[in-house]
């Protein structure tokens, strides 16, 4: 698979499945990964470290691609990314730029609004806290006393 759009789609699918080894198989040795405005991770080893850390601390990832366009070796994605950790979830808009060379991703740069990410994280924490409280209440109250 060397067509740039298919490479990016396969890469995002591997990330959704938390298959880091397969995701890395789409990456070039000299890949650069950056969540703007954070500093970039340069090289396969640095990118692998970031991906494995995300997979270790998260329990799920989804990339809901709304639009994807390719112009030669450049692929642009407009998507909603969903991060999960247990009952916590954050959804936020992301625009991604990928550059593919010889069937491998050499650049992966994501742009998103940090305020939106923080708000989505807080919303996810609130929902997780409510779900946890409901579970806790359900454990200590007889079923006939629980009201929706």
Q: Examine the residue annotation and report whether 110 is marked as an active-site residue of this protein.
A: yes
5-42 b/e with 16+ CB inside 10 Å = b? eebbbbbbebbbebebeebbebbbeebbbbbeeeebbe
Which residue in 19, 81, 102, 113 is the catalytic one? 81
Which residue in 19, 30, 71, 110 is the catalytic one? 110
DSSP annotation string for 58-102: -SEEEEEEEEEEEETTEEEEEEEEEEEETTEEEEEEEEEEEEEET
Beta partners for residue 65, in sequence order = 79
Distance CA(53)–CA(35), nearest Å, equals 15
Distance CA(95)–CA(89), nearest Å, equals 19
Q: Active-site residues: which are they?
A: 81, 110
């Amino acid at each position: 698979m060397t067509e740039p759009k298919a490479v990016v789609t396969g890469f995002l699918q591997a990330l959704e499945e938390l298959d880091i080894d397969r995701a890395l198989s789409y990456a070039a040795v000299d890949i650069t990964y950056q969540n703007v405005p954070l500093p970039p991770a340069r090289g396969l080893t640095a990118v692998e470290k970031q991906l494995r850390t995300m997979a270790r601390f998260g329990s799920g990832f989804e990339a809901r691609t709304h639009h994807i366009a390719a112009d030669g070796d450049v692929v642009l994605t407009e998507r909603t990314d969903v991060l999960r950790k247990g009952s916590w979830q954050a959804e936020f808009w992301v625009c991604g730029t990928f550059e593919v060379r010889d069937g491998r991703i050499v650049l992966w740069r994501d742009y998103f609004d940090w305020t939106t990410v923080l708000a989505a994280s807080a919303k996810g924490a609130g929902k997780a806290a409510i779900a946890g409280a409901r579970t806790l209440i359900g454990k200590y109250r007889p079923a006939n006393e629980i009201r929706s």
